[in-house]
Amino acid sequence: MIITKKALPRRTFLRGMGAMLALPLLDAMVPAATAMTSTPAKPVRRLGYIFMPMGCDLSRWTPPGTDGRLDTLSPILSSLNSVKDQVTAVTNLELANAYPGTHATSNAAFLSAARAKHTESSDFYLGTTADQIAAQQIGQETQLPSLELAMDMLQTVGQCDNGYACVYQNNLSWSSPTTPLPAEAHPRLVFETLFGEGGNMAERRAALRKRASLLDWVTEDLGSLRSKLGVADRARISEYLDTVREVERRIQRAEADTADNPLPDLDRPTGVPASYTEHAKLMFDLQVLAMQGDITRVMTFQLARETSTRVYPETGVTDPHHPLSHHGNDPDKIARMAKINQFHVSLFAYFLERLKATPEGNGTLLDHSLLLYGSGMGNPNVHDHTNLPVLVAGGAAGGMKGGRHIRYDKPTPLANLHLTLLEKVGVRIDSFADSNGTMDELFAPLAI
């Protein structure tokens, strides 16, 4: 039998008037031979890294129990209850190369596990980060090899912490030991990076201001495509486009709110939601869209940089984060810091729930992603880089067994986890930084 039916290419875009929109994974993208047996298109593997600054209260972070199960969540992790079956907490990881113990090295070592050169000048030197090692291999098939995001709108310069250049705190991602990759915090510019036309950021921003919606410009191409798709694929595209339009609407609303505000705001360019919560959720939603459209498969997101003095009114805590992290073992200060830790985790939970609710192939976006959430610092009061608060999420379709708590008897390199996650998405390297093995127990059945 000769099969002549052709599958829709995975890299299919809607185009119109200079706009281009990537599509989510559709059944119509199944190769013709496998389509005969109704096999869904094979999803890709993705890596995401979310950074929480300044450690946490480990007594309220560490899950209770000793049998390796994540049946009961700790107070800080309580918001993860709906997705805990795809979350694993890992206890007693360390960043030995982050010592002598600073905020700068906590930030810098989180994805590099490397020792930062002690310098206040431009001769900084670190190491290639895990996300960029992944981008060099699995990122070459997508529009963007990687996506670097943050929540802080302004980057500081000069010397920031104990003689270390600010570049170590500003940037999570480094494509080489001497090349930090700046992160974008402005939702509009991220949207343009994902869906805008060519040119630099200023040109894309000007172009998008001229049109009410990206979707208005791809209507003709969309109509032609829909006529070729089945019912399930048409429903998937409608849901995806509804999400794109909703993100656009939220960005436009933020721009209008800022324009109507007569008070000067030098730290927040037009279009950034005034609420940290709304800003963070918008940035997470943009990552979901980037995954759906297979625009990128590697992402980093910095919830705040080290030494951030941001205040989070959503938590009821009025103290700036950094001063509060140096709590001097004051129980009241520790409790307030824990509320900030819990708040940050709740935003990660929002992201996981969005991914879990987004179907793809035989599973969901969460199934087809591996996500690392954590900090480069354990106890911030003493600038400790041992017993780091770390979570791994997703990966069910790739064999990761969630709903567990892995405790190591002795400090184990965080680099081992980086090496393991890289391996599971198909990136093969012999070692990473100070790794001394892999963490295969993440993917092994839980003993009964």
Asked if the model's pLDDT at residue 445 lies above 50, the reply is yes
What is the reported pLDDT for 431? 96
Residue 252 has pLDDT above 80, yes or no: no
Asked if 32 and 61 sit in the same domain, the reply is no
State the Cα–Cα distance between residues 52 and 390, nearest whole angstrom. Answer: 10
Label residues 59-83 b or e (16+ Cβ within 10 Å = b).
Answer: ebbbbeeeeeebeebbbbbebbeeb
List, in order, residues 6 or more apart from 235 with CB less than 8 Å away: none
The residue from 202, 237, 271 where one domain ends is 271
Give the residue-averaged pLDDT of 429-439: 96
372: in domain: yes
- Among 271, 305, 327, the domain boundary falls at 271
- 147 compared with 36, residue with greater pLDDT: 147
Cross-strand partners of 394: 370
Tell me what pLDDT residue 198 has: 47
- Mean pLDDT confidence for 409-436: 96
Instruction: Give the H/E segment covering residue 401.
Output: none
The answer to whether residue 404 sits within a structural domain is yes
Indicate the Cα dihedral angle 83, 85, 87, 91, nearest 10°: 130
Q: What value does the mean pLDDT take over residues 40-54?
A: 83
Average pLDDT across the chain, whole number: 83
> Is 276 part of a structural domain of the chain?
no
The model's confidence at residue 19, banded by pLDDT at 50, 70 and 90, is low
**Is it the case that residue 366 has pLDDT exceeding 70?**
yes
At 403, which amino acid appears?
A: G
56 and 30 inside one domain: no
263 has pLDDT over 50: no
Average the pLDDT over 329-339 and give the result. 97
- For residue 20, the model assigns a pLDDT of 57
Q: Which residues contact 352 (CB under 8 A, 6 or more apart)?
A: 80, 83, 86, 87, 366, 371, 393, 394
Q: How many domains does the chain have?
A: 2
What DSSP letter does each residue of 309-338 carry, written as one string? ----GGGT--S-HHHHH--TT-HHHHHHHH
Alpha-carbon distance values, 395 to 104, 177, 313, 368 (Å): 31, 29, 34, 6
Check residue 4 and give its pLDDT.
Answer: 36
pLDDT surpassing 90 at residue 70: yes
Do 218 and 128 lie in one domain? The reply is: no
- Indicate if 140 and 33 belong to the same structural domain: no
Provide the total of helices (H) and of strands (E) in the chain, helices listed first: 13, 15
Q: Are residues 83 and 192 in the same domain?
A: no
Give me the pLDDT at residue 255, please: 63
**Residue 34 sits in which domain range?**
1-42+186-271
pLDDT of residue 1: 24
Q: Tell me the mean pLDDT in the region 115-120.
A: 94
Say if residue 30's pLDDT is above 80: no
* pLDDT the model gives residue 155: 63
DSSP secondary structure string, 149-179? EES-SS---SEEETTEETHHHH-S-EEETTE
409 shares a domain with 301: yes
- Residue 89: what pLDDT? 97
**CA pair distance 84, 405, nearest whole angstrom:** 11
Position 7 scores a pLDDT of 59
Tell which residue, 386, 430, 389, 419, has the closest CA to residue 129. 419
- pLDDT at position 293 over 60: yes
Give how far the C-alpha of residue 215 lies from the chain's centroid of Cα atoms, to the nearest Å: 26
Please give the Cα distance from 274 to 288 (Å, whole number). Answer: 22
Q: Is residue 332 part of a domain?
A: yes
Decide if 291 is inside a domain. no
In a domain, 432, yes or no: yes
* Helices 187-195 and 231-260, axial angle in degrees (round to 10): 150
Residue with the two structure tokens 């595209």: 237
* Percentage with pLDDT > 70 across the chain: 75
- Higher pLDDT pick, 346 / 260: 346
Nearest to 112 by CA among 69, 160, 171: 171
54-64 mean pLDDT: 96
- 14 pLDDT band, cuts 50/70/90, is low
Poorest-pLDDT segment among 70-74, 109-113, 119-123, 301-305: 119-123
pLDDT tens-place string over residues 83-96? 999 999 999 999 99
Mark whether 61 and 201 lie in a shared domain. no
Co-location of 4 and 98 in the same domain: no
Q: What is the mean pLDDT of residues 347-375?
A: 95
pLDDT tens-digit series, residues 170-201: 999 999 999 999 999 999 889 888 876 545 55
Does 280 fall in a domain? no
> Which of 63-77, 101-115, 146-160 has maximum average pLDDT?
101-115
Give pTM, 2 decimals.
0.81
Q: Are residues 246 and 109 in the same domain?
A: no
- Reply yes or no on whether the pLDDT at 240 is more than 80: no
- pLDDT score, position 137: 92
Residue 288 belongs to a domain: no
At 245, is the secondary structure helix, strand, or coil?
helix
149 or 247: which leads in pLDDT: 149
- 77 and 128 share a domain? yes
Task: Look at residue 42 and tell me whether its pLDDT is greater than 90.
Answer: no
pLDDT of residue 33: 41
Q: Give dist(CA 353, CA 376) in Å, integer.
A: 25
pLDDT at 13: 54
Which tokens sit at 348? 């990660």
What is the per-residue pLDDT for 437? Answer: 95
CATH number for the domain that contains residue 434: 3.40.720
Q: Are residue 130 and residue 73 in the same domain, yes or no? A: yes
Q: In 10 A of CB 224, how many CB atoms?
A: 10
Based on the fold, state whether residues 130 and 180 are members of the same structural domain: yes
The answer to whether residues 395 and 73 touch, using CB atoms and an 8 Å cutoff, is no
How many angstroms separate the CA atoms of 79 and 60, rounded? Answer: 13
Q: Which residue has the tokens 């694993």?
A: 88
- Structure tokens belonging to residue 175: 């494509």
